Amino acid sequence: MKKWFVLALVTSLAGAALAQSAPTAEKKLPVKQKQKMEQTAKPAPVAAVQVKRKKPPVVKFSMAMLESGRIDPGYTGIPVAEVVGALEKMTVVKKGEFESTVDYNARRSAALAGKFLGDSSIEDILAFVVPVSKGRLGLGYEFNADTGNLALSALFSGEESMNGLGLPNYDRGESKGLYTFKLSTKILSQSTYKGRNAYGATVKVLKSSSLDFGVAADRLPFLSSGRFSHVNPIVASPIKLENSRAAQELPALKALIVMKLADPYVLYHFLHIKPELDNPYDFAIQKKFLTGNVLGIVFYSGLTGEIFARLPDAFGKPEPKIEMKSEDKPASQ
Protein backbone atom coordinates (compact mmCIF):
# COMPACT_ATOMS: atom_id res chain seq x y z
CA MET A 1 0.00 0.00 0.00
CA LYS A 2 2.81 2.40 0.89
CA LYS A 3 4.56 1.52 -2.38
CA TRP A 4 1.38 2.34 -4.34
CA PHE A 5 1.03 5.68 -2.54
CA VAL A 6 4.67 6.64 -3.20
CA LEU A 7 4.33 5.66 -6.86
CA ALA A 8 1.20 7.85 -7.30
CA LEU A 9 2.90 10.81 -5.61
CA VAL A 10 5.96 10.53 -7.85
CA THR A 11 3.74 10.32 -10.97
CA SER A 12 1.76 13.45 -10.02
CA LEU A 13 4.93 15.43 -9.30
CA ALA A 14 6.37 14.42 -12.68
CA GLY A 15 3.20 15.61 -14.41
CA ALA A 16 3.38 18.96 -12.62
CA ALA A 17 7.01 19.34 -13.59
CA LEU A 18 6.20 18.69 -17.22
CA ALA A 19 3.33 21.20 -17.18
CA GLN A 20 5.59 23.92 -15.81
CA SER A 21 8.45 23.19 -18.14
CA ALA A 22 6.39 23.60 -21.32
CA PRO A 23 6.38 27.43 -21.28
CA THR A 24 10.09 27.41 -20.52
CA ALA A 25 10.69 25.36 -23.63
CA GLU A 26 8.63 27.89 -25.73
CA LYS A 27 10.68 30.81 -24.44
CA LYS A 28 13.85 29.13 -25.58
CA LEU A 29 12.71 28.98 -29.24
CA PRO A 30 15.04 30.83 -31.64
CA VAL A 31 13.83 34.39 -32.40
CA LYS A 32 13.64 33.82 -36.17
CA GLN A 33 11.64 30.64 -35.71
CA LYS A 34 9.22 32.40 -33.33
CA GLN A 35 8.71 35.30 -35.80
CA LYS A 36 8.07 32.82 -38.59
CA MET A 37 5.44 31.03 -36.48
CA GLU A 38 3.72 34.34 -35.64
CA GLN A 39 3.65 35.42 -39.30
CA THR A 40 2.21 32.06 -40.31
CA ALA A 41 -0.51 32.37 -37.66
CA LYS A 42 -1.58 35.89 -38.78
CA PRO A 43 -4.36 36.05 -41.42
CA ALA A 44 -3.37 37.42 -44.83
CA PRO A 45 -4.16 41.15 -45.22
CA VAL A 46 -7.37 41.88 -47.14
CA ALA A 47 -7.08 44.51 -49.87
CA ALA A 48 -9.51 47.40 -49.41
CA VAL A 49 -12.23 47.38 -52.06
CA GLN A 50 -13.10 50.81 -53.40
CA VAL A 51 -16.77 51.09 -54.19
CA LYS A 52 -17.46 53.48 -57.04
CA ARG A 53 -20.42 55.66 -56.20
CA LYS A 54 -22.92 55.95 -58.98
CA LYS A 55 -23.97 59.44 -59.95
CA PRO A 56 -27.61 60.11 -59.13
CA PRO A 57 -29.79 60.10 -62.23
CA VAL A 58 -30.58 63.47 -63.78
CA VAL A 59 -34.14 64.49 -62.95
CA LYS A 60 -35.76 66.01 -66.02
CA PHE A 61 -37.25 69.45 -65.60
CA SER A 62 -40.87 70.15 -66.46
CA MET A 63 -42.85 73.36 -66.25
CA ALA A 64 -45.28 71.54 -63.94
CA MET A 65 -42.57 71.74 -61.25
CA LEU A 66 -43.25 75.48 -60.98
CA GLU A 67 -47.04 75.42 -60.80
CA SER A 68 -47.40 74.63 -57.09
CA GLY A 69 -45.31 77.62 -55.99
CA ARG A 70 -42.61 75.36 -54.52
CA ILE A 71 -39.56 73.59 -55.94
CA ASP A 72 -37.95 70.57 -54.35
CA PRO A 73 -35.00 72.08 -52.38
CA GLY A 74 -32.94 69.02 -53.28
CA TYR A 75 -33.42 69.48 -57.02
CA THR A 76 -30.00 69.91 -58.63
CA GLY A 77 -30.99 70.79 -62.18
CA ILE A 78 -28.97 69.50 -65.11
CA PRO A 79 -25.14 69.81 -65.05
CA VAL A 80 -24.13 72.32 -67.72
CA ALA A 81 -20.65 70.85 -68.32
CA GLU A 82 -22.10 67.40 -68.95
CA VAL A 83 -24.73 68.81 -71.32
CA VAL A 84 -22.00 70.55 -73.32
CA GLY A 85 -19.92 67.36 -73.44
CA ALA A 86 -22.89 65.29 -74.60
CA LEU A 87 -23.86 67.82 -77.28
CA GLU A 88 -20.29 67.97 -78.57
CA LYS A 89 -20.38 64.22 -79.17
CA MET A 90 -23.71 64.56 -80.97
CA THR A 91 -22.96 67.64 -83.07
CA VAL A 92 -19.35 67.07 -84.09
CA VAL A 93 -20.26 65.42 -87.36
CA LYS A 94 -17.69 66.27 -90.03
CA LYS A 95 -18.83 66.36 -93.63
CA GLY A 96 -17.20 63.68 -95.72
CA GLU A 97 -15.25 64.54 -98.86
CA PHE A 98 -17.69 62.61 -101.07
CA GLU A 99 -20.81 63.26 -98.98
CA SER A 100 -23.53 65.51 -100.36
CA THR A 101 -24.87 68.35 -98.25
CA VAL A 102 -28.27 66.67 -98.14
CA ASP A 103 -26.77 63.42 -96.82
CA TYR A 104 -24.61 65.31 -94.33
CA ASN A 105 -27.56 67.27 -92.94
CA ALA A 106 -29.62 64.08 -92.66
CA ARG A 107 -26.81 62.33 -90.78
CA ARG A 108 -26.37 65.28 -88.43
CA SER A 109 -30.11 65.46 -87.75
CA ALA A 110 -30.17 61.76 -86.96
CA ALA A 111 -27.34 62.23 -84.45
CA LEU A 112 -29.15 65.13 -82.79
CA ALA A 113 -32.30 63.06 -82.44
CA GLY A 114 -30.56 60.85 -79.88
CA LYS A 115 -30.81 60.99 -76.08
CA PHE A 116 -28.19 62.23 -73.62
CA LEU A 117 -27.75 62.15 -69.84
CA GLY A 118 -30.36 59.46 -69.49
CA ASP A 119 -33.58 60.51 -71.17
CA SER A 120 -32.78 64.11 -72.12
CA SER A 121 -32.99 65.44 -75.67
CA ILE A 122 -32.34 68.72 -77.46
CA GLU A 123 -36.10 69.29 -77.54
CA ASP A 124 -36.37 69.36 -73.75
CA ILE A 125 -36.60 72.46 -71.58
CA LEU A 126 -33.48 72.55 -69.38
CA ALA A 127 -33.10 74.11 -65.95
CA PHE A 128 -29.84 75.12 -64.27
CA VAL A 129 -29.64 75.69 -60.50
CA VAL A 130 -27.67 78.80 -59.54
CA PRO A 131 -26.80 80.03 -56.02
CA VAL A 132 -27.98 83.59 -55.38
CA SER A 133 -25.36 85.77 -53.70
CA LYS A 134 -25.42 89.10 -51.91
CA GLY A 135 -25.11 92.07 -54.26
CA ARG A 136 -26.16 92.72 -57.84
CA LEU A 137 -23.58 90.63 -59.70
CA GLY A 138 -25.10 87.68 -61.50
CA LEU A 139 -28.27 86.65 -59.72
CA GLY A 140 -28.19 88.60 -56.48
CA TYR A 141 -30.12 89.99 -53.54
CA GLU A 142 -30.03 93.04 -51.32
CA PHE A 143 -31.71 93.07 -47.92
CA ASN A 144 -32.51 96.14 -45.83
CA ALA A 145 -32.55 95.07 -42.19
CA ASP A 146 -34.22 98.36 -41.14
CA THR A 147 -37.22 98.00 -43.46
CA GLY A 148 -37.23 94.21 -43.96
CA ASN A 149 -37.26 94.73 -47.74
CA LEU A 150 -35.68 92.08 -49.98
CA ALA A 151 -34.80 93.12 -53.54
CA LEU A 152 -33.77 90.53 -56.14
CA SER A 153 -31.87 91.28 -59.33
CA ALA A 154 -30.59 89.58 -62.48
CA LEU A 155 -27.46 90.68 -64.30
CA PHE A 156 -26.49 89.17 -67.64
CA SER A 157 -23.44 90.35 -69.58
CA GLY A 158 -24.84 92.15 -72.62
CA GLU A 159 -23.70 92.74 -76.20
CA GLU A 160 -21.17 89.90 -75.90
CA SER A 161 -19.37 88.29 -78.83
CA MET A 162 -18.19 84.68 -79.12
CA ASN A 163 -15.34 84.32 -81.63
CA GLY A 164 -15.94 80.64 -82.36
CA LEU A 165 -12.40 79.57 -81.49
CA GLY A 166 -12.36 76.11 -79.93
CA LEU A 167 -15.00 74.48 -82.12
CA PRO A 168 -14.24 70.75 -82.19
CA ASN A 169 -14.85 70.50 -85.94
CA TYR A 170 -12.67 73.58 -86.65
CA ASP A 171 -15.60 75.41 -88.24
CA ARG A 172 -14.92 78.95 -87.10
CA GLY A 173 -17.80 81.38 -86.78
CA GLU A 174 -18.42 84.52 -84.70
CA SER A 175 -21.65 85.31 -82.85
CA LYS A 176 -22.43 88.87 -81.81
CA GLY A 177 -24.95 90.72 -79.66
CA LEU A 178 -25.37 87.95 -77.10
CA TYR A 179 -26.57 88.11 -73.51
CA THR A 180 -24.51 85.64 -71.50
CA PHE A 181 -24.43 84.22 -68.00
CA LYS A 182 -21.52 82.16 -66.63
CA LEU A 183 -22.67 79.13 -64.66
CA SER A 184 -19.39 77.46 -63.68
CA THR A 185 -15.61 77.56 -64.14
CA LYS A 186 -13.13 74.69 -64.29
CA ILE A 187 -9.45 75.44 -63.62
CA LEU A 188 -7.44 73.32 -66.06
CA SER A 189 -3.96 74.30 -64.86
CA GLN A 190 -2.20 76.87 -62.68
CA SER A 191 1.49 77.64 -62.24
CA THR A 192 4.02 80.48 -61.93
CA TYR A 193 7.12 81.44 -63.87
CA LYS A 194 9.62 84.29 -64.02
CA GLY A 195 8.89 86.77 -66.78
CA ARG A 196 11.39 89.24 -68.26
CA ASN A 197 10.82 92.25 -70.50
CA ALA A 198 13.10 93.71 -73.17
CA TYR A 199 14.85 95.93 -70.59
CA GLY A 200 15.78 93.00 -68.34
CA ALA A 201 13.19 93.65 -65.61
CA THR A 202 11.80 90.47 -64.12
CA VAL A 203 8.51 89.68 -62.43
CA LYS A 204 6.74 86.59 -61.11
CA VAL A 205 3.93 85.68 -63.51
CA LEU A 206 0.82 83.69 -62.59
CA LYS A 207 -0.14 81.37 -65.46
CA SER A 208 -3.64 79.94 -65.53
CA SER A 209 -5.83 78.02 -67.96
CA SER A 210 -9.56 77.79 -67.33
CA LEU A 211 -12.79 76.66 -68.98
CA ASP A 212 -16.05 78.56 -68.46
CA PHE A 213 -19.52 77.08 -68.97
CA GLY A 214 -22.69 79.12 -69.27
CA VAL A 215 -25.72 80.11 -71.32
CA ALA A 216 -26.07 82.61 -74.16
CA ALA A 217 -29.21 84.12 -75.69
CA ASP A 218 -29.90 86.57 -78.52
CA ARG A 219 -32.38 88.49 -76.40
CA LEU A 220 -33.96 88.55 -72.96
CA PRO A 221 -37.32 90.28 -73.43
CA PHE A 222 -38.32 89.96 -69.77
CA LEU A 223 -35.34 92.00 -68.51
CA SER A 224 -34.86 95.75 -68.84
CA SER A 225 -32.01 96.50 -71.22
CA GLY A 226 -28.87 98.53 -70.82
CA ARG A 227 -26.00 99.11 -73.23
CA PHE A 228 -23.63 96.63 -71.64
CA SER A 229 -25.87 94.58 -69.37
CA HIS A 230 -29.36 93.46 -68.51
CA VAL A 231 -30.24 94.59 -64.99
CA ASN A 232 -33.64 94.29 -63.40
CA PRO A 233 -34.85 94.54 -59.82
CA ILE A 234 -37.50 91.96 -60.50
CA VAL A 235 -40.24 93.21 -58.20
CA ALA A 236 -41.96 96.60 -58.31
CA SER A 237 -42.52 96.40 -54.57
CA PRO A 238 -39.79 94.63 -52.55
CA ILE A 239 -40.52 91.34 -50.82
CA LYS A 240 -41.06 91.64 -47.06
CA LEU A 241 -39.06 89.30 -44.82
CA GLU A 242 -38.59 89.25 -41.07
CA ASN A 243 -34.95 89.69 -40.11
CA SER A 244 -34.78 86.31 -38.35
CA ARG A 245 -36.16 84.54 -41.40
CA ALA A 246 -33.92 86.49 -43.78
CA ALA A 247 -30.86 85.38 -41.78
CA GLN A 248 -31.81 81.76 -42.46
CA GLU A 249 -33.16 82.01 -46.00
CA LEU A 250 -30.80 84.35 -47.83
CA PRO A 251 -27.55 82.35 -47.44
CA ALA A 252 -29.38 79.38 -49.01
CA LEU A 253 -31.24 81.32 -51.72
CA LYS A 254 -31.29 79.66 -55.16
CA ALA A 255 -32.49 80.40 -58.66
CA LEU A 256 -33.39 78.41 -61.76
CA ILE A 257 -32.36 79.60 -65.21
CA VAL A 258 -34.74 77.86 -67.60
CA MET A 259 -33.89 77.63 -71.30
CA LYS A 260 -34.68 75.87 -74.57
CA LEU A 261 -31.72 74.97 -76.77
CA ALA A 262 -31.45 76.13 -80.37
CA ASP A 263 -29.04 75.45 -83.25
CA PRO A 264 -25.95 75.55 -83.10
CA TYR A 265 -26.54 74.49 -79.42
CA VAL A 266 -23.00 75.32 -78.19
CA LEU A 267 -21.02 78.54 -78.81
CA TYR A 268 -17.25 78.80 -78.36
CA HIS A 269 -14.83 81.54 -77.42
CA PHE A 270 -11.12 81.68 -76.65
CA LEU A 271 -9.18 84.53 -75.04
CA HIS A 272 -5.51 84.81 -74.13
CA ILE A 273 -4.35 87.60 -71.82
CA LYS A 274 -0.62 88.21 -72.17
CA PRO A 275 1.37 89.25 -69.09
CA GLU A 276 2.85 92.71 -68.62
CA LEU A 277 5.24 94.07 -66.01
CA ASP A 278 2.47 95.89 -64.13
CA ASN A 279 -0.07 93.13 -64.82
CA PRO A 280 1.78 89.81 -64.39
CA TYR A 281 -1.01 87.45 -65.41
CA ASP A 282 -0.87 84.92 -68.25
CA PHE A 283 -4.47 83.77 -68.63
CA ALA A 284 -5.93 81.42 -71.23
CA ILE A 285 -9.72 81.38 -71.01
CA GLN A 286 -11.95 79.10 -73.05
CA LYS A 287 -15.73 79.41 -73.05
CA LYS A 288 -18.37 76.87 -73.98
CA PHE A 289 -21.86 78.35 -73.68
CA LEU A 290 -25.16 76.66 -74.43
CA THR A 291 -27.23 78.81 -76.73
CA GLY A 292 -30.96 79.14 -77.27
CA ASN A 293 -33.86 80.96 -75.65
CA VAL A 294 -33.80 81.75 -71.94
CA LEU A 295 -37.47 81.34 -71.05
CA GLY A 296 -37.43 82.57 -67.48
CA ILE A 297 -35.74 82.82 -64.09
CA VAL A 298 -37.17 81.66 -60.76
CA PHE A 299 -35.86 82.69 -57.33
CA TYR A 300 -36.70 80.23 -54.55
CA SER A 301 -35.82 79.12 -51.03
CA GLY A 302 -33.07 76.54 -50.75
CA LEU A 303 -34.59 75.45 -47.42
CA THR A 304 -38.30 75.05 -48.15
CA GLY A 305 -38.46 75.43 -51.92
CA GLU A 306 -40.92 78.35 -51.69
CA ILE A 307 -40.80 80.48 -54.85
CA PHE A 308 -40.07 84.12 -53.99
CA ALA A 309 -40.20 85.65 -57.48
CA ARG A 310 -40.45 84.81 -61.17
CA LEU A 311 -39.16 86.45 -64.31
CA PRO A 312 -41.42 87.14 -66.12
CA ASP A 313 -44.01 87.35 -63.38
CA ALA A 314 -46.38 84.80 -64.97
CA PHE A 315 -43.60 82.30 -65.77
CA GLY A 316 -44.59 78.78 -64.75
CA LYS A 317 -47.85 79.81 -63.10
CA PRO A 318 -50.89 77.66 -63.89
CA GLU A 319 -53.30 79.26 -66.31
CA PRO A 320 -56.43 80.54 -64.56
CA LYS A 321 -59.53 78.50 -65.22
CA ILE A 322 -62.26 80.45 -66.99
CA GLU A 323 -65.71 79.47 -65.80
CA MET A 324 -68.42 79.74 -68.39
CA LYS A 325 -71.58 81.60 -67.45
CA SER A 326 -74.86 79.79 -67.81
CA GLU A 327 -75.89 81.92 -70.82
CA ASP A 328 -72.55 81.09 -72.52
CA LYS A 329 -72.99 77.33 -72.16
CA PRO A 330 -74.23 75.56 -75.27
CA ALA A 331 -77.82 74.44 -75.08
CA SER A 332 -78.27 70.73 -74.49
CA GLN A 333 -79.55 68.86 -77.50
| DSSP string for residues in 117-151 | TTTB-TTSEEEEEEE-EESSSSEEEEEETTTTEEE
Query: Domain segments of the chain: what residues?
Result: 63-311
pTM higher than the cut 0.85: no
- Asked if residue 163 has pLDDT above 90, the reply is no
How many CB atoms sit inside 10 A of residue 192's CB?
A: 12
Q: How far is CA 180 from CA 57, 196, 230, 253, in A?
A: 28, 36, 10, 21
pLDDT in tens, 80-115: 999 999 998 887 777 788 888 898 888 888 888 888
- The pLDDT score that the predictor gives to residue 110 is 87
pLDDT bucket at 295, cuts 50 / 70 / 90: very high
- Asked if residue 79 has pLDDT above 90, the reply is yes
pLDDT, mean of residues 261-280:
90
- The pLDDT score that the predictor gives to residue 47 is 58
d(CA 42, CA 38): 6
- Asked if residue 2 has pLDDT above 50, the reply is no
- Asked if residue 13 has pLDDT above 50, the reply is no
- Asked if residue 256 has pLDDT above 90, the reply is yes
Higher pLDDT: 322 or 229? It is 322
Higher pLDDT: 276 or 11? It is 276
Q: Residue 254 CA to chain centroid, in angstroms?
A: 14
**206: which strand partners?**
192, 281
- Asked if residue 172 has pLDDT above 50, the reply is yes
For residue 205, the one-letter residue type is V
pLDDT in tens, 43-76: 555 556 666 666 777 889 999 999 999 999 999 9
